[in-house]
Amino acid sequence: MIKEIVKNLKPSSTLRINELSKDLELQGKEIFKFGFGQSPFKVPEDVILELKKNAHHNKYLPMQGLPELRNAIAQFESKKKQNKYDESNIIIGPGSKELMFLLHILFDGEVLLPAPSWVSYKPQAILGRNKYHFIETSRERNWFPSAESIENIVSKNKNKNYLLFLNSPNNPCGLVCKNLEEISEVVKKYNILVLSDEIYSDLTFESDFRSISDFCPDQTIISNGLSKWCGAGGWRLGYFVIPNKLIKLRESLKVLASETFTSVSAPIQYAAIAAFKNDHTEYLNISKNILKSVGNYVYENLRSNKVLISKSQGGFYLMPEFVDKRFKNSEDMCKDMLNKAGVAALPGSDFGFSEKKMYARISFTDFNGDEFMKNIPKNLKIDESLLNKFAPKIVKGTKRLKAWVEST
């Protein structure tokens, strides 16, 4: 009774590790949750207040989304980009993940995924019955593809449609794409459709975020939402920004939306207007200061001749390679890490790395972000004493992981 295409799929690894961690904690074991990528911070108070004020809304909203919210998002995105958008370019969904799934369903072609990529891109491509290609990347390129590696695939069959996923700063490595303009030239040459997953864009640490839409706006769908920068993962509100040149795709996506989720929660949409219209610069600066400091602590304490690791440039991830560890695959390595060190992490094979490579994704969010934020001025340098006070599980978990690395 169950389709073969579904039988072979496993539950999302990020959700699986979160549930496993909770089960082990209920058994009385001390677990360091370095596996689940969820913002540690509370939703900004002004946005929470708007949710309370608008809880009485109980009617269906327009399928494309509340016009006032779409207008706020269009202005929010236009300020950050070299392109101007209006409310007609925006579609609101119950999380960007759902909108991506619908994109896979309607897209007729082949999907291009950098290796590594977020765990849900591949399963969604399979469910959409689209052939997918993992594109080779390298640490030197921040784990993003070169233009040449993309062209090597698409040039073999120029008559096909291709959909390229780019996520910067990326999950699982926390790194920023530095060769967007180079990639955009290939995109324009072969008329490749790009899904620019910018869910971590407002958590970029070092410099202003650049989007590939700045270089090839007519081929780029921007995906974003409230879950990461606004701490509202459980609210389930995401959106697509679709350029006018892709109006046929936009209209098709609206049809699929009308037959699936219908519309997003009314109170959530009304509250989200404040998230995009109000000034949250201070909230974001404090968030980034904390995340950068916590990430740097983990990086500095893990890097060695036994651990190859790049410093996080945004979001809340690191992707170390444990070069001295010898296991059948990276999944077995992560099981050993959990059993011996109590550290829950995700194997690199879940993201498209070879299972023989000993990569693991670490999320450095196992701390009370609300308490940390209330007690740390945005420009204060965060040292280990403050980390011990406000992020004790990060400090202890990192030390446990370092001891595991040193063990034979």
**For the chain, what are the domain ranges?**
4-43+281-406, 58-277
Task: Tell me the percentage of the chain whose pLDDT exceeds 70.
Answer: 98
Asked whether 161 and 109 are in contact (CB, 8 A), the reply is yes
Q: Residue 363 pLDDT more than 90?
A: yes
Distances (CA, A) of 59 to 39, 63, 345, 408: 30, 12, 41, 61
Asked whether 284 and 373 are in contact (CB, 8 A), the reply is no
Q: Which residues pair with residue 361 across a beta bridge?
A: 346
Q: How much is the pLDDT for 7? A: 80
Q: How much is the pLDDT for 62? A: 95
Q: Which residues pair with residue 347 across a beta bridge?
A: 360
Asked whether 116 and 350 are in contact (CB, 8 A), the reply is no
Q: Residue 55 pLDDT more than 90?
A: yes
DSSP SS3 for 163? strand
pLDDT band at 379 (very low <50, low <70, confident <90, very high): low
pLDDT band at 408 (very low <50, low <70, confident <90, very high): low
User: Which residue reads 């996080």 in tokens?
Assistant: 312
Say how far apart CA 143 and CA 128 lie, in whole Å.
Answer: 25
- Over residues 91-142, the pLDDT tens digits come to 999 999 999 999 999 999 999 999 999 999 999 999 999 999 999 999 999 9
Q: How much is the pLDDT for 11? A: 74
Q: Does domain 4-43+281-406 have CATH number 2.60.40.10?
A: no
- The tokens for 326 are 């010898």
Q: How much is the pLDDT for 137? A: 95
- For the ranges 189-193, 206-210, 238-242, which has the lowest average pLDDT? 206-210
Q: How much is the pLDDT for 381? A: 84
Q: Residue 29 pLDDT more than 80?
A: yes
Q: Residue 200 pLDDT more than 70?
A: yes
User: Which residue reads 């410099």 in tokens?
Assistant: 207
Instruction: Give me the chain's average pLDDT, please.
Output: 94
E strand map for 321-371: 321-322, 343-344, 346-347, 360-363
Say how far apart CA 391 and CA 169 lie, in whole Å.
Answer: 23
Residue 391 is given by DSSP the state: -
Asked whether 246 and 34 are in contact (CB, 8 A), the reply is no
For the domain covering 58-277, report its CATH number. 3.40.640.10
For the chain, count helices (H), then strands (E): 15, 14
pLDDT band at 380 (very low <50, low <70, confident <90, very high): confident
Are 4-43+281-406 and 58-277 in the same CATH fold? no
Compute the half-sphere exposure of residue 53: CA atoms within 13 Å on the CB side of its CA: 12
- State how beta strands 193-197 and 220-225 pair: parallel
pTM value?
0.94
- For the ranges 39-43, 326-330, 397-401, which has the lowest average pLDDT? 326-330
Q: How much is the pLDDT for 360? A: 96
- Over residues 1-20, the pLDDT tens digits come to 888 888 888 777 777 777 78
Asked whether 261 and 94 are in contact (CB, 8 A), the reply is yes
Q: Residue 378 pLDDT more than 70?
A: no
Q: Residue 31 pLDDT more than 90?
A: yes
- The tokens for 210 are 């650049």
